[in-house]
């Protein structure tokens, strides 16, 4: 008897005490029932969204730690925000250790799922779709973790975002993998973040495929330690449809992988095809700024082995015709502005603007072949990516 009690106690401590499953079904009052489940959940609970279409009128929010929200598949459970009347996003998460998986959001008025200050979050097999396709009045970000430590985005699909499909901002310890970003302005964007791994994704039909940015004037700056590897970056040729004013509105149609500012970025083993401005672009921040903490240059960017199927065959750049003529009809695949420091493996074909000063425009450009040194030593991968424990949550 005593032994039995002891075993029961062990069991209890192994799984969250009294964890419950709350099942929500679509239909009448779905908004209130779903939001109520999100509010009344206790740490350890799971909220199950049964298959079907949920007609929602307001943003949803979760502020309880250690909760899983699970649907019946990204095409089975659809949260439909077409008639949304309020809030800046479809679903806002502000608590830690949350897992969202296996459901879709359609047509949120602002962002799709935003998680802010939500550490150790997992997004798994989530779909965010603006069903009319590229449109400047679509919401900005599909998947939007910000100011968080520990972010795993796995198997998601985002279409139609007027800024970035998958956007990770001001965060640390990040993995974005196995995901599809299609027909957004930016497919995947890592901004002002450290220790990010972007791998095994498909970025296609965006204006720009994968962007790694560091911007001034934000609470968290100093982006770096980023690996962009083993991605398929194909046919990113959608005209830029971002509303003016946003940083991505300046991204040229046909950009494959773009690194702006940042410290220590590795780009390798990607397949790049059909990115008509530049399959790979490494540049300094282009705007004037007053933030003394900010370094606008790309530092220690490493271009490893990548597979380039052609280069910039239809660049959206000033003086494109002259450039094409000068380079024999097609620009080499890697474009550097000449600022900061870049290393590339020997086989890399590229060109440089040979600028000498950041933020002064292209007036001083003296385009010429890329002349950079080869990488010295191994890229330091330590600490890059989401904590391993986040991946363990994907089972089941």
Partner 1 sequence: MRQSAVLAAAALAFAGALAVQATPPPLQYVNDEAIAGSGMPRLLSDYGFFADLGEQVPVPQVYPYRLNTPLYSDGADKLRFVYRAAGTQFRADGEGLIDMPVGAALIKTFAFGEAETRRLVETRVLLHRADGWVARPYLWNEEQTDAQLAVVGARVDLTTPKGEAISYRVPNKNQCKECHGLDDAVVPIGPKARNLSGEWLAQMVAAGHLDRMPQGADQLPLWEARESASLNAAARAYLDVNCAHCHRPGSTASNSGLDLRWEQQEPHALGIGKRPVAAGRGAGGHLFDIVPGAPEKSILTYRMASSEPGVAMPEIGKETVDEDGLDVVSRWIAKMTP
Tell me which of 62, 121, 174, 365 binds partner 1, using CB under 8 A.
62
CA nearest to 302, candidates 264, 334, 262, 270: 264
Tell me which of 20, 36, 305, 318 binds partner 1, using CB under 8 A.
36
- Minimum distance from residue 193 beta carbon to partner 1 (Å): 11
63 binds partner 1 (CB under 8 A): yes
Count Cβ atoms below 10 Å from residue 115 Cβ, excluding itself. Answer: 27
359 binds partner 1 (CB under 8 A): no
- Minimum distance from residue 283 beta carbon to partner 1 (Å): 17
CA-based angle 301:306:310, to the nearest 5?
110
Binding mask 305-344 for partner 1 (x = CB under 8 A): ----------------------------------------
What number of chain residues touch partner 1 (CB under 8 A)? 52
Binding mask 230-269 for partner 1 (x = CB under 8 A): -------------xxxxx----------------------
138 binds partner 1 (CB under 8 A): yes
Contact 248, 242 (CB under 8 A): yes
Smaller CB distance to partner 1: residue 294 or 313?
A: 294
131 binds partner 1 (CB under 8 A): no
- Minimum distance from residue 58 beta carbon to partner 1 (Å): 7
Positive or negative CA dihedral for 234, 235, 238, 239? positive
Smaller CB distance to partner 1: residue 112 or 350?
A: 112
Please list, in sequence order, all residues whose beta carbon lies within 8 angstroms of the beta carbon of residue 278, skipping any fewer than 6 positions away: 252, 254, 255, 256, 258, 311, 312, 315, 331, 333, 334, 335
C-alpha to C-alpha distances, 148 to 88, 93, 228, 342, 385, nearest whole angstrom: 19, 11, 20, 29, 13
Stretch that binds partner 1, among 1-9, 133-141, 254-262, 313-321 (CB under 8 A): 133-141
Identify the three-state secondary structure at position 36.
Answer: helix
CA nearest to 124, candidates 143, 105, 100: 100
106 binds partner 1 (CB under 8 A): no
Pair of tokens at residue 133: 């396709």
Tell me which of 46, 50, 58, 199 binds partner 1, using CB under 8 A.
58
> How many whole angstroms separate alpha carbon 157 and alpha carbon 165?
8
CA nearest to 88, candidates 160, 139, 163: 139
65 binds partner 1 (CB under 8 A): no
CA-based angle 102:104:107, to the nearest 5?
170
Residue ranges that bind partner 1, judged by CB under 8 A: 32, 35-36, 38-40, 57-59, 61-63, 84-88, 92, 94, 108-111, 116-117, 136-141, 144, 146-147, 162-163, 167, 169-170, 215, 217-220, 243-247, 287, 290-291
């Amino acid at each position: 008897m005593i032994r039995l009690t002891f075993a029961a106690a062990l069991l209890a401590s192994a799984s969250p005490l009294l964890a419950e499953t709350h099942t929500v079904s679509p239909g009448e009052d779905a908004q209130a029932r779903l939001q109520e489940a999100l509010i009344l959940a206790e740490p350890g609970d799971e909220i199950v969204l049964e298959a079907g279409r949920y007609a929602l009128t307001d943003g949803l929010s979760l502020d309880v730690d250690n909760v899983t929200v699970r649907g019946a598949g990204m095409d089975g459970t659809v949260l439909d925000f077409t008639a949304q009347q309020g809030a800046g996003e479809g679903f806002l998460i502000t608590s830690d250790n949350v897992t969202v998986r296996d459901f879709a959001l359609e047509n949120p008025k602002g962002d799709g799922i935003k998680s802010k200050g939500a550490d150790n979050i997992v997004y798994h097999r989530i779909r965010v779709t603006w069903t009319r396709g590229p449109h400047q009045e679509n919401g900005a970000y599909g998947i939007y973790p910000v100011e968080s430590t520990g972010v795993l985005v796995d198997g998601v699909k985002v279409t139609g975002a007027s800024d970035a499909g998958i956007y990770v901002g001001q965060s640390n310890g990040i993995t974005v993998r196995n995901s599809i970003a299609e027909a957004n302005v930016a497919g995947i964007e890592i901004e002002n973040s450290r220790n990010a791994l972007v791998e095994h994704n498909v970025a296609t039909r965006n204006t720009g495929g994968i962007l790694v940015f560091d911007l001034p004037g934000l609470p968290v700056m100093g982006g770096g330690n980023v690996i962009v590897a083993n991605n398929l970056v194909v046919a990113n040729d959608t005209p830029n449809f971002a509303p003016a004013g946003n940083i991505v509105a300046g991204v040229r149609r046909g950009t494959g992988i773009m690194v702006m500012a940042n410290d220590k970025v590795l780009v390798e083993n990607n397949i790049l095809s059909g990115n008509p401005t530049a399959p790979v672009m490494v540049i300094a921040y282009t705007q004037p700024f007053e933030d003394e903490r900010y370094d606008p240059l790309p530092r220690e960017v490493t271009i490893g082995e990548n597979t380039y199927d052609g280069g910039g065959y239809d660049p959206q750049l000033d003086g494109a015709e002259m450039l094409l003529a000068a380079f024999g009809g097609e620009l080499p695949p890697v474009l550097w502005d000449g600022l900061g420091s870049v290393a590339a493996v020997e086989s890399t074909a590229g060109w440089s603007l040979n600028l000498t000063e950041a933020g002064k425009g292209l007036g001083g450009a003296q385009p010429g072949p890329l002349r950079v040194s080869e990488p010295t030593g191994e890229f330091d991968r330590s600490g890059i990516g989401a904590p391993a424990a986040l991946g363990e949550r994907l089972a089941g």
